Amino acid sequence: MNATTLTTPDGPFSIVVSTVPETAGSPAKDAVLAAGWTADVDALLALVHPTLRPTTEAEMLDRLSTPDGVLAEAADAVRAYYDGDHGAPGRVPVRQASGPFRTHAWDVLRDVKAGERITYSEYAVRAGRPAAVRAAAGACAMNAAALFVPCHRILRMDGSLGGFRYGLPIKESLLARETLPR
């Protein structure tokens, strides 16, 4: 596991990357496990599904190493996002684990483009379960990889912001940034 914290206009932003174990048909690879506007890497680790969390002391100590590989790519993507390339985080590999609907819903979130705002109802439709609006909202609430899985683009039916783990001022800032001309 490796982690870094960047300074952004919205405050400190930390990224946790680890090698994701091999799964059926997919080799082991590095991916973002968690990210968000906090300097507290341990708080981010708590959001990671237990099957993906580092389990050994050696894995935990790796986070002190120099950022490279996917961690460097993720850090560059965050910088690019704040420099106006709002699609950059979507090109970085991410891995989250949960049940089938939530895992699929996170994949669907990655297809919501910068500047696009959709409601929780529309998000449920895109995730293939139109009646599962609360489950779609739950996927946003349990998203550990903020910015890389852009849950900030999902709004309430009335157009209001709804919630955001890192606070509504950051959600407002991100949405405003994504609607500014480049």
Catalytic residues: 151
Q: Give the residue among 2, 15, 8 at the shortest CA–CA distance from 47.
A: 15
Q: Which two tokens stand for residue 60?
A: 């935990």
Distance of alpha carbon 39 from alpha carbon 1, whole angstroms: 16
Number of H helices, E strands in the chain: 7, 5
Give the orientation angle of helix 100-109 with respect to helix 133-141, to 10 degrees: 70
